Structure 1
């Protein structure tokens, strides 16, 4: 096997679901696979040079409009297979290629000129690939509706995994913030638009005994907390970027993961929380429900803060909390990066 992975995502996204996906795949490769990763510099420090010792790396200076151009071929070999990390086609049109489709957030919920550009890039990469990997059935259905692949293209659903670092810990006084002593809900990742952070804040107003702690997604912007009363602001904290080990501790301490996103391609934090024993409260988002199944505590309404708060209050029942934790452990066991890797290798071997 001899293949080329285009690492453009590491120049576009330092932290996020897609970088997690490719880090997990690359870290499992051994020398026998003869893989080469190309990186456009600067790579946002997302990939240390020794991160994947079994994978050759080619460092390249980024060209003007690099994101919009086909990925350059390897310098000294003609790889048998090309796999872009973020919707690029290979420079040689005759080269067999695989594309992983993560979501259609731009087209479904973001919109604007960015959606036009993103759709063109995705459509070009998808229609020129021989094999299309979708990370969920939800993403596959979006792809079939919005892209219309050719009959001769193969489409596979290969689910993401969840890191083994997430696990239950024996922590005294869990659920409580160490400084305030109040239990806190956890909000992980980006907060803009369809992530529904504003809905989470409105629900928090109805939950006076709880705090809301945010991880990742950058510092709060003034408009995010505009119009929010001081009594609510005092119960909202931003913890910045944390390591996986620190995030596992937070999941173990949290009253719940609050995940009110209205659109996802998968939803890795849902599985992370479940694996750590943290109940997950969400709205009725198709991909999130596909991943979390019956282990989710789902709000009765997608845009009603009172319904979201009521879903959180269901966790006051020790019986319900124990039931959801048990279901969450069982559900998270159905997903693994090892399985994702093996299924992806099986796709590579078809070429």
Structure 2
């Protein structure tokens, strides 16, 4: 099978969907010796860079991969074209096209600032256009599948659910404590991971942290992720419990998970919520909102709370901090639960979808 891939963002997106692709490509190579790839990039200078990057993913990938400019994509002779980043960008009108639609958050009213309305309208058109042209859609959770059906009127039979995994995370490696050292923390801490857009619901977490400190439980919060929102910047110099460490490497992330009292994920909307599995695999208890895909991903191995209820979140954080028996039970349950997810399974399900389309 010849697989064409719209890989415009692969070199530049280190986590998120970039990680999804970097885990699946080596798995594809292992599972199908006849599979060959053509990857399409937007900039001419990225052609050589992506060829070199393939060698870092799997020794066999360079010999089985051609890299071309995306302007050539409409003329591809591939058996199937895969768009991993939610949308059909440059269409290949004469070939079957498969899209991984991770979630529909960009088209939903989760942020009420006026300029977001225009952005949502643009994204809505892109989702609709993609759904009309795709031969099949992959998504990462049953929740996301239901949202695609609900908001785009999609036929559920065209959608295949391929839950993600975290078994690539280097949990056995040595500690990489740079972020912790930078904070100067010598004791326990909670942690949170991810971006800071409105749907991540950091407002509820911040209210819970203020309540903990007011009630005498002075365990700080270490925050990982790119950039700070205006709300975070507004309290950064005033909240004694907030330590923003920015983007961290996988080894540093694992070290944070190992040492944290718990990962707190307060998001009101996630298509999957990969930090849940990452933390569980690394032996970190998880407290997450009971919204969107998070309960589906966490199963019975996390403590849940209503996403808008700061008091309920503070209560769960207090329980976990004060009850070592509960914490050990959550760690054990999380390790078992995370082991049920694997990138090899994602690859098998994805290749099966490609073959059905062909």
- TM-score under structure 2 normalisation? 0.84
Unaligned runs of 5+ in 2: 56-60
SS in 2 for 1:72: helix
- Structure 2 CA distance, aligned partners of 1:333 and 1:282? 19
- Check whether the contact 1:185–1:213 (CA below 8 A) recurs between aligned residues: yes
Give unpaired runs (5+ residues) of structure 1: 64-70
* Alpha-carbon distance between aligned partners in 2 of 1:135 and 1:276, rounded to the nearest angstrom: 21
Q: Is 1:311 matched with 2:311?
A: no
Query: Would you say 1:165 and 2:166 are equivalent positions?
Result: no
What's the CA shift string for 1:86-108, capped at 9, x where partnerless?
Answer: 21155332311111110111223
CA deviation after TM superposition for structure 1 residue 44, in Å:
9.2
Please state if 1:215 is matched with 2:224: yes
The counterpart of 2:280, out of the listed 267, 271, 274, is: 274
Structure-1 residue corresponding to 2:328: 322
Report the CA distance shift for 1:42/1:255 in structure 2 as closer, same or farther (over 3 A): farther
Please tell me whether residue 345 in structure 1 is matched to residue 351 in structure 2: yes
322 and 83 in structure 1: CA distance in 2 versus 1, 3 angstrom threshold: same
Which of 179, 185, 192 lines up with 1:180 in the alignment?
185
Say yes or no: does 1:56 pair with 2:58.
Answer: no
Q: Residue in 2 aligned with 1:203?
A: 208
Q: What's 2:232 paired with? A: 224
For 2:221, what is the secondary structure of its paired residue?
A: strand
Aligned equivalents of 2:343 and 2:334: distance in 1? 17
The CA RMSD over aligned residues, in Å, is: 2.7
- The 1:166/1:278 distance shift into structure 2, 3 A limit, reads farther
Task: Go from structure 1 to structure 2 and tell me whether the alpha carbon gap of 1:162 and 1:43 turns closer, same or farther (over 3 Å shift).
Answer: farther
Is the CA contact (8 Å cut-off) linking 2:149 and 2:155 kept in structure 1? Answer: no
Secondary structure, counterpart of 1:281 in structure 2: strand
Contact 1:82–1:90, Cα closer than 8 Å, also in 2? no
CA deviations on 1:210-254 (whole Å, 9 max, x unpaired) are: 111111222x35542425773x2x321121221111111110011
Of the three residues 128, 131, 140, the one matched with 2:133 is 128
Q: 2:251 maps to which residue?
A: 245
TM-score (structure 1 length as normaliser): 0.85
The within-5 A match list for 1:82-101 is 82-86=81-85, 87-88=87-88, 91-101=91-101
Structure 1 residues 275 and 212, CA, compared in 2 at 3 Å: closer, same or farther?
Answer: same
